[in-house]
Structure 1
Amino acid sequence: MQSAINFGAGPSMIPQEVLKEAQTHLLDFHGHGLSIMEASHRSSMYEEVHNRAIEDIKTLLHVPEDYDVLFLQGGASLQFAMVPLNLSQGGVIEFVDTGTWSSKAIKEAKIMGLNTRVVASSKESGYTHIPENIAFSDEADYAYITSNNTIYGTQYKTFPDATAPLVVDASSDIFSYPIDWNKTSLLFAGAQKNAGPSGVTIVIIKRNLLERVNETVPTMLRYQTHAEANSLYNTPPTFGIYLLGLTMKWIKAQGGVEAVRQYNEEKAALLYNAIDASEGFYVGHALPGSRSLMNVSFNIKDKDKTLEAALLDLAQKEQMVGLKGHRSVGGLRASIYNAMRKEGVQALVDLMHSFAKTHR
């Protein structure tokens, strides 16, 4: 464990093994006499790192042969615009609204003057759950969901069915469970939760969707541009991709995505059980059937700001950081991404238990 236990929502903690390996080769990358940060993205030294990272993503997520893996920039937020620019065919785009990030994606499509339709939403409940019985229409250009909602702590347990191509924003839970590619046509994610540092955006797209793009879309904003150039059309974030590659290597060493999911379930159970057993002292935001394995959002009874501040102060003294909830919902939030060890979650649970015992 690091000296600080980082529950931050992102950029979030990176596995110690990854940081140590990067540190070892920071000044001299495997005897090349220079850092990977200094290497040309056209050099064989970097291209090996680049291509290995792509292949490891394909292996870990069992990506089918007819999909391309792209490394882009601009964060996941740029994808709110790139997806409709590349996939819209002049028809309707259908969304499920489960929180801030899906709302922002809807907003971007509307800015472009595109026809949008929200087929399901949990807004009226304060985004406490994932809607049930989601029904996308057959005529949609594409359907769109956000798989995990960092702010509200909700997560899809399975992706909904869609006849139209399903687009998934998986920024905060990629590499934490296997992907059902029979349902998914495009998946994107910022790397800074489960895949490495900020600055790299992963896009995994079914190859036949690349041909949809209109010729009026700027070159840099076309998926086709980056697919044809193996994500080397312009200078990529080379050091971020290097660290992403090390993170893929780490996930493989844990036993792969399937083993990581089981471990995440065990971590989340520790924390949710502590909330449920607190007899109302702690109250989770998400309903039980929609609870996220990545982000646990909760409040202290009656949303007591004084007690909340006291717990955050005590956590800080115990070197637990990043527990303050998002400004839009308040409360507390423990982000327990892949790199968080079970010992870190147990330390938080122990602190919560002793705090509740003292302040009931």
Structure 2
Amino acid sequence: MTDVAKPGARPACPHFSSGPTAKRPGFSLDQLKGFAQGRSHRSALAKSKLKQAIERTKTILNLPKDYRVAIVPASDTGAVEMCMWSMLGQRATDIFAWESFGKDWVTDAVNELKLPDCNIHTGDYGVLPPFEKARDDADIVFTWNGTTSGVRIPNADWIADNPDRVVICDATSSVFAQDMAWEKLDVITYSWQKVLGGEAAHGMLILSPRAVARLESYKPDRPLPKLFRMTKGGKLNEALFEGATINTPSMLCVEDYLAALDWAEEVGGYQALKARSDRSLQILTDWVAKTDWVEFLCEDESVRSNSGVTFKLVEPRFAKLDEAGQRDFLKRMMKRLEVEDAAFDANGYGKAPPGLRIWCGATVEPDDVAKLTPWLDWAFAAELAAL
């Protein structure tokens, strides 16, 4: 690889972390001045803001009218786990995983919940598991988009309709970035810190009528901590879906989520947000096509993520390094970019194969992605020359 000149133009926002992600363009703390400062989350003011967050989410996502939405503790992780603990075990379960966080749900199901008749289907980083093995009568747990692998499912056609089972979908890096088959899903979870660039620690939980029916008809033979309880007296606790949260939320974070929804509406809503991610992915696709040292970790274009985009490095001298050497190389490469204020947090996930991960959720400007690629070329060439 020949010498590469240092680029002149830097991304206006060099934040490419996959979580917390870049704040929306134009973000200012002044936008949060109206938050319910010092007020109880049970106060009329605070509850009205929490309810706004719920109702506006339903509208912007265009959810089915009979789906319920709640704000829950512990980010997307908490939302997934409260449903796994509360709903699974009544019938057989199929779990599909192909990246780090999906494999966490496998650990929960096998080692913690010890679910009987639980089939595990996994795929390696960069490829999908065999969805055709899903049983028509089993509950299902899966991740729509693999944040650490750069792979998403192309559709939900493999999920057969069955009113007696529930389908739990971890959708934290796909909601607001990809088309979702809501009617196929009974539990959908995400966090504010992903595609909308919100703050961490709060999870969003979406339930279908079938999920509600499961909660009201099935009492698992296991203790449920307070943070997981969604029923009272055998019935759904409807207050949770009106803004009465299980524990105390940050009203400052709530205000930021509301402002992020304002921005989402201003740019054109769900499809406009998706289009921003699609545009960033296309920029990276064009770059990879003309670059000889990098390839997508996900080789199948039809299932490649447009939010968490992952890469493997294929230059021969880099490929000859052992894994520890490759990870050290990437750390030094990232340090060069940080010193130049050109890119932060673009290294691959620690448990994934050594590589790069560029977040392309809607709050990232596609123009900044275009300005990033010359810097990646420069940093790689500089580090390669130092070997």
TM-score when normalising by structure 1: 0.87
1:8–1:335 Cα contact (<8 Å) kept:
yes
Aligned to 1:5: 14
Paired position in structure 1 for 2:373: 349
Distance of 2:349 and 2:266 partners within structure 1: 33
For structure 1, list consecutive stretches of 5 or more residues without a partner in the other structure. Answer: 30-34
Offset of residue 131 of structure 1: 3.3
Q: What secondary structure does 1:39 align onto?
A: coil
Q: Cα deviation per residue 1:309-347 (whole Å; 9 max; x = unaligned)? A: 453233213311011111112222111111000121011
Match in the other structure for 2:3: none
1:288 and 2:300 aligned: yes
Q: How does 1:113-124 map to 2 (within 5 A)?
A: 113-115=114-116, 117-118=118-119, 120-123=121-124
Specify every segment of 5 or more residues in structure 2 that has no aligned partner in the other structure, as ranges: 1-9
The correspondence for 1:263, drawn from 276, 286, 300, is 276
- Structure 2 Cα separation of the partners of residues 224 and 13 of structure 1: 36
Amino acid at match of 2:346: L
Ranked by relative contact order (alpha carbons within 8 Å, sequence separation 6 or more), the top structure is 2
What secondary structure is seen at the aligned counterpart in 1 of 2:298?
Answer: coil
**2:186, 2:208 within 8 Å by CA — same for their partners in 1?**
yes
* Counterpart in the other structure of 1:47: 47
Deviation at 1:138, TM superposition (A): 2.4
Question: 1:224 matched to which residue of 2?
Answer: 231
C-alpha contact (below 8 Å) 2:199/2:253 kept by paired residues: yes
Aligned letter for 1:90?
Q
Q: Secondary structure at the match of 1:240?
A: helix
**Corresponding residue of 1:272:** 285
1:155 and 2:152 equivalent?
yes
- Which residue in 2 is equivalent to 1:32? none
What is the deviation of 1:132? 5.1
Q: CA RMSD in A?
A: 2.5
Q: Deviations over 1:163-200 (max 9, x none)?
A: 33221101122111332222111100122112311011
SS of 1:345's equivalent?
A: helix
3-state SS, counterpart of residue 182 of structure 1: helix
The alpha-carbon deviation at position 63 of structure 1 amounts to: 0.9
Tell me the distance in 2 between the aligned counterparts of 1:356 and 1:219: 49
Give the corresponding residue for 1:16. Answer: 25
| Per-residue Cα deviation, 1:35-83 (whole angstroms, up to 9, x for no partner) | 5232222223222322221121111111112111010012222344322
Q: Deviations over 1:145-165 (max 9, x none)?
A: 101111111111212323332
% same residue? 18
**Matched residue, 2:5:** none
1:134 aligned residue: 132
Provide, for residues 261-307 of structure 1, a one-character-per-residue CA deviation record: whole Å limited to 9, x for no partner: 1221111111122123213x112211233211111221332445375
TM-score (normalised: structure 2) = 0.81
Q: 1:74 to 1:356 in 2, by over 3 A?
A: closer
Greater Cα shift, 167-176 or 78-87: 78-87
User: Are 1:143 and 2:144 an aligned pair?
Assistant: no
SS state at 1:129 partner = coil
The answer as to whether partners of 1:61 and 1:178 remain within 8 angstroms in 2 is no
Partner residue, 1:203: 205
- Give the letter for the 2:78 counterpart: L
1:318 aligns with 2:340: yes
- Bigger Cα displacement from structure 2, 321-330 vs 214-223: 214-223
User: What is the aligned partner in structure 2 of residue 327 from structure 1?
Assistant: 350
